[in-house]
Amino acid sequence: MSAERNAEGKEARLIDRLSEGETFVSARASFASSYKDARATFLAVLPHARSFVLPGFLGPEKEDLSVDVGWVGDSQAECVLVVISGTHGPEGFCGSGIQMDWLTLLKDSCLPPNVALLFIHGLNPYGFAWDRRVTQEGCDLNRNFVDFAAGAPGNPGYDQLRAHLVPPTLEGASFETAREAIRQFKSANGERAFQIARKAGQYTDPNGMFFGGFERAWSARTLDLIAREYALVGRKFVAVIDVHTGLGPYGYGELQSEHIAASQSQAIADRMFGPSVTSADLGTSASIPIHGSLQLYWEHLLGDGRYLYLCLEYGTFDTEAAQRVLLADQWLHVHGGGDRKGAFGREVRARMRAHFCPDDPCWKEAVLFRARQVLREGLSGLQRIVEGEFELPRGSGNDALASYAAFGKADWSVAPKGDF
C-alpha cells in the first residue's frame, strides 16, 4: 500500500495522518471555549433556530442567555430524536460539541423517512455561561421535575448532614469538623447511603447542593413550551438523549436509563441500544436513583412505551475530584460572596469547566466517537419504529395529555417570562 504524500511530495507521518482524521478535526471545531461562542456557532449552523431568552440575566461578556432550539427534518415526522445540552451548566460544552458534530454530519447526509432531529442547546443557559451546575434560581434542573403540588420527596440522610456538606470554610477547624462528620456517616451507613444523601436530591435547603427547588424552574417551564411548540405529544415516538459529564470512566459515554426496569420504555431502550444501556433501577448504572429527573417530565408528557429518556453520561475524573470542585463552587455562592469575576471566582469557574469538559483532544475525540454510535443506533431504532417493528402502546396523544395535565398542574400555569 502506498503512503499518502503531502504537498511537497513527502510521505506523511502515520501519527500526523491519524491526528488529522475526520473525528479529530471535528473535535477541534465542535467544542467551544465559551458559552457565547457555543451559542453563536449553533445559531450560525441553524439560523432559523427558535430562541427562548432568559430575562433579567446576562453572561460574563454581557451576552444574552438563551435556550436555542433547532429542528432538522420533516416537520410532520412520526418519530423524533431529541438531543439536549447544558442541563447541568458547564456540562453543556460537551453536549454542545456533540450537537455541532451531528449537525456537521447532517450537512451531507439525509435522515431516515419520517424521522426528525430536535436540538435543544443550553437548556440551563445561566449555568452554561457562568460555569455553574445549577440554574439562576440555584436549582439542580435534573432534580426539579417532582410533582410539587403533591409534595417533594424527603431525604433524611441529607437532613442529617446538611450542616457539613457546605462548611463555612474550605480549610481549618470547621472544614475538618465537617469532614469528620461525613466520615462517621459513611462508616455508619456506607458509601451508597452517603451518595444518596448528598446527591439524590433535596427540597429544603436552597443553599445546599443538589437542591431541587421549591417550584418549577424557568428552564423546566421552557422545556414544556418547547415540547408543545414542536407538537411532541402527537408524535408516534420520541427518543431523548440528554448529555451529561462527570461520572464514570474517563471518556466513556454510558447510556444511563432512569426508566423502571419492567417498563415498556426500558424494553425499547434495550432493543434500540443493546446491552450498553445501564439501569439505575437495577443497580447496573454508575448513577444512583435520583429524585425529579427529566425522565419524569417525558413520562408524564408521553406515557410509558411512547418515549425513552437516556442520559449519555461521559466520565471525566474521580468522585473525590468532583466533590471538591462542586464544594468550592457552592462555597463561593453561599459563603464567598458569589463574585464569579473575581480572582477566586475565575479560578472556580476554570476548575468547573476543566472537570466537566476536559481540554484534552483525546477525551473530546472519544466523546464524539461514542456519540456517533448513539446517533447511528438511535436513528436506526426510530426507523424500525416507523416501519412497525416495535409494538407500541395504543394510547393516543390525547390520553398522554390528560395524564400530563394532572402532573403538577399548578407548576405549569405560569409561562416563563422572556423573549418568546
- Over 90: is that where the pLDDT of 4 sits? no
Q: Indicate the pLDDT class of residue 176, thresholds 50, 70 and 90.
A: very high
Q: Measure the CA–CA gap between 17 and 163, rounded to whole angstroms.
A: 55
Higher pLDDT, 164 or 402: 164
List pLDDT tens digits, range 41-91. Answer: 999 999 999 999 999 999 999 999 999 999 999 999 999 999 999 999 999
* Amino acid sitting at position 131: D
Q: What pLDDT, on the 0 to 100 scale, is given for residue 39?
A: 98
Average pLDDT over all residues of the chain: 91
List pLDDT tens digits, range 293-317. Answer: 999 999 999 999 999 999 999 999 9
- Over 80: is that where the pLDDT of 166 sits? yes
Grid coordinates representing 343 are: 480572582
How many C-beta atoms lie closer than 10 Å to residue 76's C-beta?
Answer: 10
Grid coordinates representing 227 are: 415540547
List pLDDT tens digits, range 351-367. Answer: 999 999 999 999 999 99
Between helix 361-386 and helix 92-106 the angle, nearest 10°, is 60
What mean pLDDT is predicted for residues 102-124?
93
- Over 70: is that where the pLDDT of 394 sits? no
What mean pLDDT is predicted for residues 379-392?
92
**Residue 97 CA, distance from chain mean position:** 13
What mean pLDDT is predicted for residues 274-301?
94
Q: What pLDDT, on the 0 to 100 scale, is given for residue 3?
A: 45
Q: Measure the CA–CA gap between 382 and 384, rounded to whole angstroms.
A: 5
The closest alpha carbon to 121, from 80, 70, 48, 47, belongs to: 70
Q: Measure the CA–CA gap between 187 and 98, rounded to whole angstroms.
A: 40
Judge whether 78 and 116 are in contact, CB under 8 Å.
no
Q: What pLDDT, on the 0 to 100 scale, is given for residue 107?
A: 85
Q: Measure the CA–CA gap between 68 and 150, rounded to whole angstroms.
A: 31
Judge whether 295 and 280 are in contact, CB under 8 Å.
no
Grid coordinates representing 35 are: 458559552
Q: pTM for the full model?
A: 0.92
